[in-house]
Amino acid sequence: MSGTIARDFVGDRELLASLSPGGSPERPIKVTSAAVVEVRAAALACPLCNGEYRLHEHVAPASGLRRVDVTCRHCSTPRSLWFRLVSNEPN
């Protein structure tokens, strides 16, 4: 096993994760209610090992923006998931 190759592989997966929806504040997952933020976060899988997340903190760093700090239950990789609250009220 080559550690260098493994690290590069993980780096690619991390890059992809940061570019996927919810992986950065520039690419938040849109939700219609703060009540579903943690449900959505819990439904996502670790991009490295496909494991489930353990949810830690749910914070609102800006108006309409939510961040959920998680770690993977399987490989213990920490991640922050980003959500944007959008109104979806019927007219």
The residues that touch Zn ion, with contacts defined as CB under 5 A, are 46, 48-49, 51, 72, 74-75
Q: Which is nearer to Zn ion, 17 or 48 (CB)?
A: 48
**Least Å from the CB of residue 75 to Zn ion:** 3
The C-alpha atoms of residue 87 and residue 91 are separated, in whole angstroms, by: 11
In the bound complex, what is the minimum distance in angstroms from residue 10's beta carbon to Zn ion?
Answer: 10
Rounded-to-integer distance, Cα 37 and Cα 48, Å: 22
Distance in angstroms (rounded) separating the CA atoms of residues 63 and 81: 16
- Cβ 51 to Zn ion, closest distance in Å? 4
Distance CA 81, CA 58 (A): 9
Q: Which is nearer to Zn ion, 46 or 85 (CB)?
A: 46
Q: What share of the chain is helix, strand, coil (3-state, %, to 5)?
A: 30, 35, 35
Q: How far is the CB of 13 from Zn ion (least distance, A)?
A: 10
Q: Which is nearer to Zn ion, 38 or 52 (CB)?
A: 52
